[in-house]
């Protein structure tokens, strides 16, 4: 009897997501989706991460139908305003000022398509963060020290300064930290009979 090795594809080039996936010791390929996110139809502007993640997964699944596709999309929301990746350092600075002393919602769209067993999981995971007041000097130092243009909301907690901006976090830590909800991913992998 031949046992088919299931092909797992991460539809993202995010280093944080790749790092998390590698922590499982999984054998997976990286095939970033190249969809135009501005063309994705969605019901709610504030919840569009789920629809974008699904669109990314479908685009890659069309190329590799007999595979397991994992896709995600993440951005932050402050006072009903979406903060995605800043276009320049000036915008990054403004985003950090907006988050200072505020409640910030990290929205992560998660999609898992199993082409072998023909099942799909598509969810929106919300994580609430409370930022302390951040000084102008701290913001200036942060934007010049770290690659803030690569991060949604110009922020990532994977450094001492970034972690120190937070007062509290409530919800999926890995959604916020890595852009991928580990608890959802593990459940899907188990359903696909993937050992981790």
| Backbone φ, ψ for residue 13 (5° rounding) | -105, 10
Q: What is d(CA 91, CA 97) in angstroms, rounded to the nearest whole number?
A: 10
Alpha-helix runs per DSSP H in the chain: 15-22, 48-63, 89-99, 136-145, 160-164, 173-178, 182-191
Start-to-end CA distance of the chain, whole Å, equals 23
Structure tokens at 62: 């069309």
Q: Hey, how many other C-beta atoms are within 10 angstroms of the C-beta on 134?
A: 18
**Choosing from 73, 80, 114, 193, which is the catalytic residue?**
73
Q: How far is CA 118 from the centre of its chain?
A: 24
Decide if 173 contacts 125 (C-beta within 8 A). Answer: no
Q: Is 73 a catalytic residue?
A: yes
Half-sphere exposure (Cβ direction) of 124: Cα atoms closer than 13 Å: 17
Residues with a catalytic annotation lie at: 73
């Amino acid at each position: 009897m031949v046992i088919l090795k299931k092909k797992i594809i991460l539809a993202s080039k995010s280093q944080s997501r790749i790092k998390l996936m590698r922590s499982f010791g999984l054998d997976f390929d990286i095939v970033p989706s190249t969809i135009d996110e501005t063309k994705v139809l969605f019901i709610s502007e504030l919840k569009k991460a789920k629809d974008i993640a699904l669109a990314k997964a479908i685009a890659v699944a069309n190329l590799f139908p007999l595979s397991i596709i994992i896709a995600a999309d993440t951005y932050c929301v402050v006072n009903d305003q979406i903060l995605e990746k800043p276009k320049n350092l000036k915008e990054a600075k403004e985003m950090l000022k907006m988050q200072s002393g505020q409640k910030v919602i990290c929205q992560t769209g998660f999609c898992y398509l199993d082409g072998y067993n023909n099942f799909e999981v598509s969810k929106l995971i919300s994580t609430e963060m409370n930022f302390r007041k951040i000084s102008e000097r701290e913001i200036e130092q942060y934007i010049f020290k770290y690659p803030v243009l690569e991060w949604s909301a110009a922020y990532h907690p994977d450094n001492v300064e970034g972690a120190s901006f937070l007062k509290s976090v409530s919800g999926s830590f890995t959604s916020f930290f890595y852009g991928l909800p580990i608890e959802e991913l593990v459940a899907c992998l188990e359903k696909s009979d993937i050992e981790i």
